[in-house]
């Protein structure tokens, strides 16, 4: 649920994280500036993790599809397996 929210609004959350991380330099109170800075970097880190995971999953699906298509050309048994794999990847 959090990942879906982050994937939907990451273009808004990344600038907010940067503004918080950099804006903390201009807050004179040390404790509050550390809290704001930590919050900004936390937002950036979580966004980076979710976006990296999304890209890795997409790349893995692409590699699996390519490999199954190559095997399906060699043997008819792999053609049926390819159809099942593609159906399960879309879920």
Q: How many CB atoms lie within 10 A of CB 13?
A: 17
| Integer Cα distance of 72 and 79 in angstroms | 4
pTM of the model: 0.69
| Integer Cα distance of 55 and 90 in angstroms | 15
Q: What Cα–Cα distance (Å) separates residue 7 from each residue in 48, 57, 59, 90?
A: 10, 13, 17, 18
Q: To the nearest whole number, what is the mean pLDDT of the chain?
A: 85
Q: What Cα–Cα distance (Å) separates residue 13 from each residue in 7, 35, 43, 62, 85?
A: 10, 17, 7, 28, 35
Question: Quick one: which of 18, 23, 13 has its CA closest to 41?
Answer: 18
- In tens digits, the chain (91 residues) has pLDDT values of 777 888 888 889 999 999 999 999 899 999 999 999 999 999 999 999 998 988 888 888 888 888 877 877 777 777 777 777 777 776 5
pLDDT of residue 5: 84
């Amino acid at each position: 649920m959090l990942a879906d929210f982050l994937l939907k609004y990451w273009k808004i959350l990344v600038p907010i994280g940067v503004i918080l991380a950099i804006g903390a330099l201009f807050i004179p109170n040390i404790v509050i500036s550390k809290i704001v800075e930590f919050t900004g970097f936390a937002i950036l880190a979580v966004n980076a993790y979710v976006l990296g995971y999304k890209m890795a999953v997409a790349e893995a699906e692409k590699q699996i599809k390519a490999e199954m298509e190559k095997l399906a050309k060699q043997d008819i048994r792999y053609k049926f397996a390819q159809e099942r794999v593609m159906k399960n990847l879309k879920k």
